[in-house]
């Protein structure tokens, strides 16, 4: 197969980690006789500097014409003084809205090798493997009316969902659970909120289409605690927008570093893939950024936009093997001298070497 990938590497460490991810994807795809056709465009601060806008029209056009979009990161101190709607981050929000993805997938995982990076006890998190499916276009962030009335000293937002918005994201959660451990935990606040009662009733209805997947409901407040005390109990966690924002960041603690986590936004015209971290201006240009979140994002591209599951698993396995062998970037080693600390490009190279010997065995 041929995958037409638009790469918008962006600012700060974006280009550094993206380079490593693309070369890992290229290696694994070419081994299987597949072609990765990459087009590169500007987004974020670099686009403001050269094109005067954080999302140039040709970038958006190329995104809509591609099979998938891979984003590094946007933002930086240089552009912080700009008004919010012209800043680098506005370009990313516009891109997300134009691509229309409504299901944001964020894995959180831990293994013996990663457990040392987490402040949580290894025996609690070892083996945790959760996939958050967060609704991205509805709820409190988009609902109207919304206002801050400075005259009266009141402000309000609206948590609104339609049945159809819940059905489409729930179906994605159940479909993904079918390929995993066949359990969906739907999170809401149905003891207090009507919108959560609709959420719970609709998810229960959708579950009937997937009789081989177990469904449980949890209230968001107790779920925040359960994720930290028994993360191994969860497979796919389905949430509305705000609850998912909070719970998926909380669960990043399980994996231990922002630099490890990939994400995918699917369901719209074109899927958008990005490591969850930002442009990390404090470490940009130093060749010390962790590229593993971006490399694991590459695995999600292969899984969700190219149908190359074996290749996606090969990348994920290679990353774990590199960690098992004691290699770390500085954010993961945190001064622990027992690790072999690698820079960004060296870590990318180590993953490619591991993949090459892994693929030679298949
Ligand atoms: P950040 O994720 O860039 O950095 C937070 C901390 O984590 C920093 O100490 C950074 O050095 C570290 N870190 C992040 N990624 C890392 C990696 N791969 N390897 C090693 N360490 C890593 O978040 P921030 O500092 O709040 O934001 C910096 C800029 O990025 C801001 O302009 C912000 O708006 C932007 N941002 C962009 C995105 C995006 O593009 N999706 C997401 C979040 C923040």
Which residues make up the CATH 3.40.718.10 domain(s) of the chain? 1-100+268-362, 105-256
CA of 104 to the centre of ligand 1 (A): 19
Whole-number Å distance, alpha carbon 259 to ligand 1 midpoint, is: 9
What pLDDT was estimated at residue 83? 87
- Please compute the mean of the pLDDT values over residues 106-129 and round it to a whole number: 85
Instruction: Give the pLDDT confidence score for residue 256 in this predicted structure.
Output: 79
Where in the sequence numbering do the catalytic residues fall?
141, 189, 221, 245, 249
pLDDT exceeds 90 at position 84: no
- Within a 13 Å sphere around the CA of 89, how many CA atoms are in the beta-carbon half? 14
* Inter-residue contact 133 to 104 (CB < 8 Å): yes
Q: What percent of the chain has pLDDT over 90?
A: 86
| Residue 330 pLDDT exceeds 80 | yes
Tokens of 155: 């402000």
Other residues' Cβ atoms within 10 Å of the Cβ of residue 347 = 26
Residue 351 CA to its chain's centroid (Å)? 20
How many whole angstroms separate alpha carbon 42 and alpha carbon 227? 38
Mode of pairing for the β-strands spanning 340-341 and 214-219? unpaired
* Contact (Cβ atoms closer than 8 angstroms) between residue 100 and residue 68: no
Q: Which residue has the tokens 């359990």?
A: 183
Nearest CA to ligand 1 atom 8: 280
d(CA 331, CA 256): 9
Res 118: pLDDT: 82
CA-CA-CA-CA dihedral for 259, 324, 295, 304, to nearest 10: -110
State residue 157's pLDDT score: 94
Q: Which atom of ligand 1 is nearest to the CA of 13?
A: 18
Strands 264-266 and 271-273: antiparallel
- Summarize pLDDT for 337-350 with one digit per residue, the tens: 889 999 999 999 99
Paired with 131 in beta bridges are 107, 236
The sign of the torsion formed by the CA atoms of 161, 173, 308, 20 equals positive
Tokens matching residue 359: 């693929």
Position 93 scores a pLDDT of: 87
Which of the four pLDDT bands, split at 50, 70 and 90, describes residue 359?
A: confident
Q: Which of 253, 8, 297, 17 is nearest to 128 (CA)?
A: 253
249: pLDDT strictly greater than 90: no
- Just give the CATH number of 1-100+268-362: 3.40.718.10
Contact 284 CB / ligand 1 (< 6 Å): no
CATH topology assigned to domain 105-256: Isopropylmalate Dehydrogenase (3.40.718)
> Ligand 1 in contact with 91 (CB < 6 A)?
no
Which residue is closest in CA terms to ligand 1's atom 36?
Answer: 278
Whether the per-residue pLDDT at 362 is higher than 80: the answer is no
pLDDT of 335 reads 83
194 pLDDT band, cuts 50/70/90, is very high
C-beta separation of 105 from 338 below 8 A: no
Asked if the peptide bond before residue 145 counts as cis, ω within 30 degrees of 0, the response is: yes
- Band the pLDDT of 99: cuts 50, 70, 90: very high
Residue 114 pLDDT greater than 80, yes or no:
no
Cα 207 to middle of ligand 1, angstroms: 37
Residue 46 has pLDDT above 90, yes or no: yes
Identify which of 76, 94, 95, 258 to mutate to test ligand 1's pocket (most ligand atoms within 8 A of the CB).
258
Query: Do 272 and 96 meet the contact criterion of CB atoms below 8 Å apart?
Result: yes
Contact 21, 84 (CB under 8 A): no
339, 247, 265, 361: which is closest to 69 by C-alpha? 265
Between CA 285 and CA 208 the distance in angstroms is 51
Write out the two tokens for 168. Answer: 């489409």
Contact 63, 270 (CB under 8 A): yes
Banded pLDDT at 252 (limits 50, 70, 90): confident
Under the banding of pLDDT at 50, 70 and 90, the label for residue 116 is: confident
Cα-to-centroid distance, 281 and ligand 1 (Å): 7
CA atoms of 84 and 68, how far apart (whole Å):
27
- For residue 354, give the H/E element and its range: helix 344-361
Which tens digit of pLDDT belongs to each residue from 274-300?
999 999 999 999 999 999 999 999 999
Give the per-residue pLDDT at 209: 98
**φ, ψ dihedrals at 170, nearest 5°:** -65, -40
Query: Between the CA of residue 69 and those of 39, 143, 269, what are the distances in Å?
Result: 10, 27, 11
Low-confidence winner among 33-37, 249-253, 351-355 (lowest mean pLDDT)? 249-253
């Amino acid at each position: 197969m041929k995958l037409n990938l638009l790469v918008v590497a962006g600012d700060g460490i974006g280009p550094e980690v993206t380079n490593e991810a693309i070369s890992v994807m290229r290696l694994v795809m070419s081994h299987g006789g597949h072609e990765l056709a990459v087009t590169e465009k500007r987004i974020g601060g670099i686009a403001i500097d050269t094109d005067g806008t954080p999302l140039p029209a040709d970038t958006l056009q190329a995104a809509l014409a591609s099979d998938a979009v891979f984003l590094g990161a946007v933002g930086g101190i240089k552009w912080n003084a700009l008004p919010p709607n012209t800043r680098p981050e506005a370009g990313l929000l516009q891109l997300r809205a134009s691509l229309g993805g409504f299901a944001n997938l964020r894995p959180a995982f831990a293994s013996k090798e990663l457990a040392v990076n987490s402040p949580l006890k290894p025996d609690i998190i070892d083996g945790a493997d959760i996939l958050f499916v967060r609704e991205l276009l509805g709820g409190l962030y988009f609902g109207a009316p919304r206002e801050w009335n400075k005259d009266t000293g009141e402000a309000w937002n609206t948590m609104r969902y339609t049945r159809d918005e819940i059905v489409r994201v729930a179906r994605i959660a159940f479909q993904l659970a079918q390929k995993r451990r066949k359990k969906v935990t739907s999170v809401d606040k149905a003891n207090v909120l009507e919108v959560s009662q609709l959420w719970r009733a609709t998810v229960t209805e959708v579950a009937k289409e997937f009789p081989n997947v177990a469904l449980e409901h949890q209230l968001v407040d107790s779920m925040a605690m359960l994720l930290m005390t028994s993360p191994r109990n969860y497979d796919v966690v389905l949430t509305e927008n705000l609850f998912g924002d909070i719970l998926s960041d909380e669960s990043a603690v399980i994996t231990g570093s922002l630099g490890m986590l990939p994400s995918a936004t699917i369901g719209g015209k074109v899927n958008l893939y990005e490591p969850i971290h930002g442009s990390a201006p404090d470490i940009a240009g130093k060749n010390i950024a962790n590229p593993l979140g971006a490399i694991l994002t590459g695995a999600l591209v292969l899984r969700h936009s190219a149908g190359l599951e074996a290749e996606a698993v090969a990348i994920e396995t290679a990353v774990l093997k590199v960690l098992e062998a004691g290699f770390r970037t500085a954010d993961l080693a945190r001064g622990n001298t027992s690790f072999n600390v690698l820079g960004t490009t060296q870590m990318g190279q180590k993953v490619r070497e591991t993949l090459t010997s892994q693929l030679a065995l298949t």
